[in-house]
């Protein structure tokens, strides 16, 4: 077991760091989505593609 950890420790550490970064990004996107914010960070009033990504509001 110790041999495995010494041989693949760097790969495991980098993988763990990348996993944490991805989870933080997904969590931020989820919280923003619940608040009604878009991923671009600006309003869609003047965006020509607003109908394609948000649909028509009645």
Q: What is the pLDDT of residues 3-24, one digit of tens each?
A: 999 999 999 999 999 999 999 9
pLDDT at 47 over 70: yes
Number of H-type helices and E-type strands within the chain: 2, 0
pLDDT at 56 (0 to 100)? 54
Calpha distance 41→33 (Å, rounded): 11
SS3 43: coil
pTM of the model: 0.62
Helix (H) or strand (E) holding 22: helix 2-35
More confident: 26 or 49: 26
More confident: 58 or 32: 32
């Amino acid at each position: 077991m110790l041999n495995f950890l010494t041989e693949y420790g760097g790969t495991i550490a980098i993988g763990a760091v990348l996993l944490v970064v991805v989870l933080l990004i997904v969590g931020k996107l989820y919280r923003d989505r619940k608040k009604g914010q878009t991923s671009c960070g600006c309003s869609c009033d003047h965006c020509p593609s607003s109908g394609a990504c948000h649909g028509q509001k009645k």
